[in-house]
Structures are given as C-alpha cells and as structure tokens.
Chain A
Amino acid sequence: MVKATGKLKRVVIEPVTRVEGHGKVSILLDENNRVTQARLHVVEFRGFERFILGRPYWEVPVLVQRLCGICPVSHHLAAAKAMDRIVGGEKLTPTAEKMRRLMHCGQMFQSHALHFFHLCSPDLLFGFDADPAIRNVIGVAKDPRYKHLAVQGVLMRKYGQEIIKATAGKKIHGTGAVPGGVNKNLSIEERDGFLKDVEQMLEWSRGALKIARDYTVEHLEAVRDFGSFPSNHLSLVRADGAMDLYHGNLRAIDADGNKIFDQVDYQGYADYLAEEVRPWSYMKFPFIKSLGPETGWYRVGPLARINTCDFIDTPEAEAARKEFMAVTDGKPNNITMAYHWARMIELLHAMEGIRDLLNDGDLQGTDLRVKGERRGEAVGLVEAPRGTLFHHYKVDDNDQVVMANLIVSTTSNNEPMNRAVQGVAAQHLSGKPEITEGLLNHVEVAIRAYDPCLSCATHALGRMPLAVELYDAEGHLIDKKTKR
C-alpha cells in the first residue's frame, strides 16, 4: 500500500514473495516518483528463546528444528555443537563427525537446489519483467525448454532430503545429532542406495553451476551494479583457510579482501560482533564491533564464503571458485547477483562432499558418542545454507537451559538486503510514471539473491500474499496489485 505524507508517497510490498516468513518492503516516493527511501521490514516474533528456557539441554537439538521448516538441520547441528561443549564432548569420534558432515552436505545440497531451480530460475530464465503468470516454478515446469530443470530441481532436493532422513532419523524431530555425537551410523544398504545416484547428482550440479556461471558472465555489465555495493564478508574457515561449512574459526574480510579478524574461536564471538536495534525494524542489525555499526555490517552466505576462504578442498568446486574469483581479479566479489553463482559452486562442493563421505568407511563405525568435562555455557556455529548461524546457550546445574541467543544468517544479511533494496529501487523505480509489477519484481530479485529465510529471522508463522497499492502524492489510490 502507499501512504502519503505531505508530498511523499509510500509504496509497500507486503510481504515479499518467494522468501520465507513475513516481510515487507516500503518505498517512499516524492511527487516526481523519485525514491527517497527504501527499506525491508520484517515482522518479528521473538518467542523461541523463551520456548527453550527451562528445557533440559539434551532436548535442545531437537526442539530448535521447529524454528524453521526449511533448514531445521542447520539449527539441529548448531545446537548439537553447542551441547557437545556442554557435555565436554566437542572432540567427536570420526564416525560422529562424518555423519554430521554428511547430514550437513545433504542440507546444503537440497537447500541450494531448491533455491536455484525453484525460486531463482524463473527470474533468470524468463527475465525480471516477464509475465508473473509464468515467472514462477509452475511456468518453468510447463515450458518444454526448461521442464527438465524443474525435474532436476525436485529430484536433487529429494536426494538431499533422503540423506537428511538417513542421518537425522526423520524429517520432523530428527534426532541424529546428540550432545557429544550421533545416535546412528550409516548402514551399507543406505550408503549403496545413495551411491547409485551420485554421478547423476554430480552431473546435474555441474549443469546448474554452468547456468548460474553463464548467466552472470553473459550479463556481467547488467548485474555488476544491480543492488551491488562494497561490503565486509564473514564466514567460518578451516585452520588452513579452506572453506568449511561445518566447523572452523571465524574470518572477516573487508571489501578489498583485507582481513579484519581471522581464526577467531567462535566461543568468543560476542567480543567481535554486536547487534544494533533500529526503531523502524524488528530485525536486528549485526556488525563487527571494531568497526562500529556504520561500517561494520557484513554479508554472510555463499558469496561471503567464496570470498573469505583461501580455497575449496574438493577439486571441481575449487576450479569453479578460481574462475569465479578471476572475474574480480582475485579481489572479493561484491556483486549481489553473484550470490547465485557462488551458491551453485557450493552446490557442487556439497555433492562432491557427499560422494567422498559415502566412500568413507568411518560412516559405518560404531563409536558414536563421547563426553568429558561438563560446562555451563557454549556456542555452536555452522555455515547454514544462507550463512553463519550462531547458537549460544547457558545451562544450569539442573541441566536446564537458562539463556539462549541465536543470530541467524538472514539477520546478519539484514543491512546488506536493505542496501540492495535501496540500490535497486533508486536505480529501477525512481522517476518512473508507473510502478509496474515487473519493476517491483526487481526489488524482490535483489532480496531473493540472499535466499532469506524470514521465518528463521523472525520466528514467525505467516502466509505469503503480496499486496502492492500505489497512491498519488495526495493519498489517492491509483493502482493496486495483489497476488498470493
């Protein structure tokens, strides 16, 4: 909707489609339709930390999966890693660590496949301005040129979900990761079931990577400035600088690749990161303490991970990373739309990881759990599909959780998404006589590049209608668009 304030008009996209949960974009126009302000708002529901309080710590890895139906595994693993430390069992057995890594690769694979094939590809295949009646996955499925891509997306997603099921136990209330280890290994039968499809999944991953790579390279001039800006980047990296999605230390770099901090033990994350509250947004704005909120905000997720790591330890993804980095002469890539290319590099990396893990006999080991000296406070981190995920807990002597704090990836990307919205609105909407659906979709495209999961960020339950109303400077409704 649009609210007029003096000579200003407000365009509201509520909520944004093809992202999860409940959010809205408001764009303030002056009487000449010039954009004077653009913001992404998220409807907040901060109830989950309270939900956990008082629960025994061993229940937490199961409970936190209810935060989000999209990436429950990420929460499951982050919480389990925190609880590993609570029981003094953070040095996992090889079987336990590899089972968790397999679960995590399955999660990364299915999540990235879903986003690329079913949420992003309609924009790339049909164009940002295409008829919204076809610019969706059903349109992809009905188009003979692209139907095979939609099929691949479904089957890749299913493959990843089946790996999660085999490692976590089940889709709802998965119990695979427990404090200090796992509660099952992978049977030979399960392993062989996955191995028979490995080559097919790798081939489809290569194909998806090529689509994302070709799109970015062929449209480089167009995407270079599309919602793009220099930024800091943050992720976990391994001790040797390799990308590591499951475990490592924190590294932050600036827009030119200079290290802000490196190999920081994430148990001390609060010494390096803080969260700012702004009156117009329910979602917080994390920033690097040493830089302050003005310049210390950072990006997380696939783009940040490719930028921060020194290399990827699987050969095909590493070759793709090198090509990716060559586009910006080895410097960090700050092109927002390059998230898609980076995401597909990670898709291939996850599939290479699945292949390697499936061929590792440790998955059939029987030494599943360890424990050691009990602690009262711990932090668990993983690189979730959308970025770094922080779980921080305190547990009392009665084994009950007395403090929980979560920083989810979408919250870390709050400022970058807002900057992307501002940039695209100013570039594509400003001064236009009519704000068309296609123009508004440009804003959504910029947000979708981050693959935000607002349900995680807000802990909210919501439906996804889209309503856009356009008023003139006097407050008269001159246009209205709705879709579900």
Chain B
Amino acid sequence: MSGAGGGDVLVIGYGNPARRDDGLGPAAAEDLARRGLPGVDVDADYQLTVEDAADVAGHEVVVFVDADVAGREPFDFRPVAARGELGFSSHGCEPPAVMALAHDLFDADTKGYILGIRGYEFDELAEGLSAAAQANLQAAVEFLDGVLRSRKFDEACRRPGPAPAAGTKGNGLCKTGNT
C-alpha cells in the first residue's frame, strides 16, 4: 500500500469495508499511507493470512490495526505476543498466530502491537463507518501517527487508557476479518 519495503515498521489494517465499522482497519491504513511516514510500510487487507508472517518477519515492529467489538473507547493499544494456539484454524488468522508463524518459520523476533479501534455497527452489509467509529478512527490515527514518529511503542501501551465504554465488557476482543 505504501512504503515499498525497506521500512522498519509495518502497519497492517484489516477488515471488510462492506461491514460498516469492520472497515476501521483498512480506513486507518489508508489514512496512514497518505501520510507517508518515514520508515513505515502500510498494508491493508480483508483479513490476516499466513503470508503476512513473511512481511512481519521483515520488520522490527508490526502494528495490527483492527476494529474492536467491545474494547476501550476510542481505541486500545497493547502488545501482542506470538501464540500458536488452536485458534489458527481457518483461511484467515489472528495476530498471535501470524506472530507465531513469523517466529517459527522465519526466526523473526519482531515486536507486535495491536491497535484496536472501537466500532459499533458490524452486522449490516453496507459501506461507511458509523459516526462514532469515524470519531474513534481519527483519534486512533492521530495517536498512532505520534507513536510511529516517536517509535515509543512500549511507552504508548503504558499510557493511561480511556475508560471502557459503559455497558461493554471491555475485553478488547477484536473482530476477525473473515468475510
């Protein structure tokens, strides 16, 4: 999408833009790609798949950007570790499995983070983010822009986060990108 290789940081935004707020990941990727941050490669896809492991292995840091079903508002930023759990069970896969494949297949020690952007409308087959998700997107992209410029990823995880949204479990579950 941008940064034709060579960057030390990879941002992957994923989700289905035809599922309303599930398109938060690609929307964030498009915004970041337009900014052309130095040393940052940006990619977007409907879902994570195995070959993402090869791209992840080619970078020092990867940030997975996904819509968050019930996490913190407006977004949550957290580390993700390699985990080869049984969840790796379909054509698509989750960030921990991609990290595990990057480690096991390519001996990568890439550090991984997830930026989960809170969304609200997922069930309708339609384009366009909800107004609340659009606001969360802007806040999340501005935040990630700052993190990518400073390269202070761990510090960003430790910053006091916004409170979980009322009426949600705040479990930080991200939607899969399955369509």
The one of B54, B88, B125, B178 in contact with A455, judged by C-beta atoms closer than 8 angstroms, is B178
> CB within 8 Å of A: which of B68-119?
84-92, 97, 100-101, 104-106
B65 interface residue per 8 A CB criterion: no
Q: Do B91 and A119 have beta carbons less than 8 Å apart?
A: yes
- Residue from B17, B106, B178, B179 having most chain A Cβ neighbours under 10 A: B179
Q: Do A157 and B51 have beta carbons less than 8 Å apart?
A: yes
Q: Do A171 and B179 have beta carbons less than 8 Å apart?
A: no
The one of A69, A154, A155 in contact with B92, judged by C-beta atoms closer than 8 angstroms, is A69
The 8 A CB mask of A448-461 against B (1 = contact, 0 = none) is 00000101000101
Rounded to whole Å, the gap between the CB of A174 and the closest CB of chain B is 11
Q: With a CB–CB cut-off of 8 A, which chain A residues contact B88?
A: 136-138
> CB within 8 Å of B: which of A10-57?
17-21, 45, 47-48, 50-51
The one of B97, B105, B179 in contact with A69, judged by C-beta atoms closer than 8 angstroms, is B179
Decide: A172 near B105, CB < 8 A? Known: A20-B90, A154-B51, A453-B91.
Answer: no
Q: Do B178 and A462 have beta carbons less than 8 Å apart?
A: yes
Q: With a CB–CB cut-off of 8 A, which chain A residues contact B106?
A: 151
Q: With a CB–CB cut-off of 8 A, which chain A residues contact B126?
A: 51
CA–CA, A464 and B18, complex, Å: 20
Q: Do A154 and B101 have beta carbons less than 8 Å apart?
A: yes
Across chains A and B, the number of contacting residue pairs, with CB separation under 8 Å, is 136
Q: Interface size on B (CB < 8 Å)? A: 41
Q: Which of A1-9, A60-68, A94-102, A238-246 contacts B (4 or more CB under 8 A)?
A: A60-68
Q: Do B16 and A464 have beta carbons less than 8 Å apart?
A: no
Q: Which of B40-48, B128-136, B139-147, B148-156 contacts A (4 or more CB under 8 A)?
A: B40-48
Rounded to whole Å, the gap between the CB of B104 and the closest CB of chain A is 4
Q: Do B100 and A158 have beta carbons less than 8 Å apart?
A: no
CA–CA, A139 and B84, complex, Å: 8
Q: Do A132 and B45 have beta carbons less than 8 Å apart?
A: no
Q: Do A68 and B179 have beta carbons less than 8 Å apart?
A: yes
Residue ID in chain A nearest B122 by CB atoms: A461
Residue ID in chain A nearest B84 by CB atoms: A138
Residue ID in chain A nearest B48 by CB atoms: A69
CA–CA, A283 and B1, complex, Å: 36
Q: With a CB–CB cut-off of 8 A, which chain A residues contact B177?
A: 69
CA–CA, A139 and B86, complex, Å: 10
17 sampled A-B residue pairs with Cβ under 8 A: A67-B179, A114-B50, A133-B86, A136-B86, A136-B89, A137-B50, A137-B101, A147-B104, A154-B50, A155-B51, A155-B54, A170-B1, A453-B91, A461-B16, A464-B89, A464-B178, A483-B86
Give the 8 A-B residue pairs with the shortest CB-CB distance, closest first.
A69-B46, A138-B84, A66-B18, A158-B51, A484-B87, A141-B104, A47-B125, A17-B89
